[in-house]
Amino acid sequence: MQGSAPTQDDALSLAKPATAGTVRPPDPSPRSLRGLDWFIFFVADVQTGFGPFVSLYLTTQKWTQVDIGLVLSAGGLVSLAGQIPGGMLVDAARSERLVAGFAISAIAASAFAYAAWPFFPVILAAAVLHAAASCMLGPAMAAISLGLVGHTRIGERLGRNARFASVGNGLAAAVMGTLAHFLSAPRVVFIVTVALLGPALLALGLISPREIDPDSCHGGKPLPPVKPLTTEILHLLRKRPLLILAGCVMLFHLANAAMLPLMAGVLTTRSGDLATVFVAACMVGPQVIVAVFSPWVGRKASAWGRRPLLLIAFATVPVRGLLFGLVTNPYLLIAVQLLDGIAGAVLAVTVTLIVVDMTRGTGHFNLGQGIVGTTMGIGASLSPTLAGYVSDRFGSATAFFGLAAIAAVGLAAVWALMTETRPAENE
């Protein structure tokens, strides 16, 4: 099998044992691995400050909902449009550490602008800067991970990444929310975000650049004959397995993104003063599941393959949708929401891992991430609008059932169209 010529659209051919350009470098030092752990942890902390706290803060600054919506929409559009260019930039970079350092510094600068100058032109520019930097930061972290551990151990590494990101998100949300409440100063969230830049850069500095294989960061050197960049990009964009993955991920997020906000609205009308506590539990519970199970997912992705785990993740969404539409007890709703943690743990590892498999030997791993990230953003952006419209017209139960139906289509697509991409060397 190793001697056969690779076909253009066969994902398995891209998952063959590495050529000379994609040989895994020597084992990275514990120092570099710990540095990556803590960098991902602090990045998650920094990004948490740009979640729901933005709307809360701008509301306290007497902003209208229209202006808040314009800022959030501008950031969302830049984030969507910047996925593919961000991936291409990381593929072209000579130092992924430099890209990551620049991106996290830009995000901290955005947070400083939020805290210091809450005026519309400044906040709009800060939101755009944050979105653009995030489009580079995600691929850069994945590229550093791949460059450090190589293709053979990337599944376990991605699981560890997901654990530290989940713990960072949960702790940061708790600390920032507590400080903002007791100090009665929502802007403290952004001040904490700026303060976290120092630890993040220190952690990044622990990663030795000599231990990051520059070819592995991009998926390995392109297989000969080497073609012009434009030709290689068009070839990647036409790869059927990658487009199938992108389409399935879009369906997943189209069904999934609106479920928690819609359920939070339902809890608010049913539970009164306890609604905030219930919603917080619904947010923290899945993060715990992700932190606990992500490393296990990384190991099983190498042992079982990617496709079985992907099916498990997609299967949880229609079940959640159906149960959200039927269950009224708030405590049971919290238990149902834990299924989102299972899906999050699996997707945080397997989607990137499948992109690694499909782009191996192309030199465009990060472009592949950008393609999938774009469809992910499309699904997540359309989901709240679609669910809100259906809920207003036909009720929340119907909206949940509709989201479950979309998720079922995604599950069927994975079952019927997705092929296994695990390399033979992992069997």
Q: What residue ranges define each of the domains in the chain, with the CATH number in brackets?
A: 28-213 (1.20.1250.20), 228-427 (1.20.1250.20)
**CB neighbours of 302 closer than 8 A, spacing ≥ 6?**
155, 156, 422, 426
Which two structure tokens, joined as six digits, stand for 400? 């949940």
pLDDT at 217 over 90: no
For 8-24, write each residue's pLDDT tens digit: 344 433 344 334 344 44
pTM of the full predicted structure? 0.83
For 286-338, write each residue's pLDDT tens digit: 888 999 999 999 999 988 999 999 999 999 999 999 999 998 888 888 899 89
Under the banding of pLDDT at 50, 70 and 90, the label for residue 391 is confident
pLDDT > 90 in the chain, percent: 47
- If you average pLDDT over residues 208-232, what whole number do you get? 75
- If you average pLDDT over residues 213-223, what whole number do you get? 78
